[in-house]
Amino acid sequence: MVRPYAVKGKKRRKREDKYERVEEAEEASEPEETEASQPEDVNKGAMVEKQDNGNEGEEKVGNPIELEGIPITPVELSTKNGPGAIFILERASLEVAKVGKTYQLLNSDDHSNFLRKNNRDPALYRPDIVHQALLMVLDSPINKAGKLRNVYVRTAAGVLIEIKPHVRIPRTFKRFCGVMLQLLQKLSISAVGKREKLMRVIKNPVTQYLPVNSRKIGFSYSSEKLVSIHNYVAAAENNRDFVFVVGAMAHGKVETDYTDDFISISGYPLSAAFCISMICQALAGKWDIL
């Protein structure tokens, strides 16, 4: 026998009444819960924060990128302990392209076929040169002593990147490519659990970030001025900061209009990493850093 509709309708009303009472009880208890949960939401970064004026019109959801491979290393940074050094890596091969269905940082080993199909020379795509150069300068004794002011990287496409001296670059090349890919896409990378930006894309020109009294020195094997880097640094003034401009490309010459001097420190072509190691050794000898 089929149940009458009237009985069925009454039972529905009773259930609705129960649901309404439960909803009213939940609404009455909601303000206390939201007040208690506000600090957790802030810590989780569930808000939309706008970037600085340098990147207008762009917004980020949540906290900046946090990578476990970018911790902060303890470095004694102080501007009161005399002059320091700044390194600029020019013409770095850091280019992102869509290979297949994903975006990747192009390099000559993994993307040689892709580069040839697009009429590009695979020999020019060497992000490993930047990786080795950054490891050399950030692991140097002058950085541990707090004498390294900043590191700037300008890509072949003209993108300027600022890297703080207390960042620890990933040791493996594959992870380094992943970090650079996210940096070029998100424009900044922050420390784990902090708001400090360890690496970020900034506006050109690089000269606006350099100290006023700094001595800007460019390096190239093709320079006619062959000097001993130890004697050259030792003869420099003690009250001026050094700005060293080193090429981070496989072939070619660094051509800039902001360098005060253009020298060669060896009669043989040197890699960017070894050139930086010679500079750091000369600076450590000048500043008595062991």
Higher pLDDT, 70 or 100: 100
Query: 70 pLDDT band (50/70/90 cuts)?
Result: low
**Cis, peptide link before residue 39, omega less than 30° from 0:** no
Res 253: pLDDT: 86
Cα 252 to Cα 127: distance, rounded to the nearest angstrom: 15
Cα 86 to Cα 106: distance, rounded to the nearest angstrom: 27
Q: Is 229 exposed, middle or buried (0-12, 13-18, 19+ CB in 10 A)?
A: buried
Q: Is 162 exposed, middle or buried (0-12, 13-18, 19+ CB in 10 A)?
A: middle
Pairing of strands 197-202, 160-163: antiparallel
Cα 16 to Cα 262: distance, rounded to the nearest angstrom: 84
Higher pLDDT, 216 or 109: 216
Res 54: pLDDT: 43
Which residue bears the tokens 């506006």?
A: 203
Of all residues in the chain, the percent with pLDDT exceeding 90 is 58
The pTM assigned to this predicted structure is 0.72
Nearest CA-CA partner of 89 in 155, 36, 14, 28: 155
Measured over the CA atoms of residue 26, residue 28, residue 31 and residue 36, the dihedral's sign is: negative
Cα 162 to Cα 97: distance, rounded to the nearest angstrom: 22
Query: 5 pLDDT band (50/70/90 cuts)?
Result: low
Least confident of 77-81, 110-114, 223-227, 256-260: 77-81
Calculate the average pLDDT of the chain: 79
Which residue bears the tokens 């892709």?
A: 114
Hey, what domains does the chain have and what are their CATH numbers? Answer: 86-287 (3.40.1280.10)
Q: pLDDT digits over 11-37, tens only?
A: 555 454 444 454 444 444 444 443 433
Cα 155 to Cα 127: distance, rounded to the nearest angstrom: 10
79 DSSP 8-state letter:
S
Find the mean pLDDT for residues 207-227: 93
Q: pLDDT digits over 221-246, tens only?
A: 999 999 999 999 999 988 899 999 99
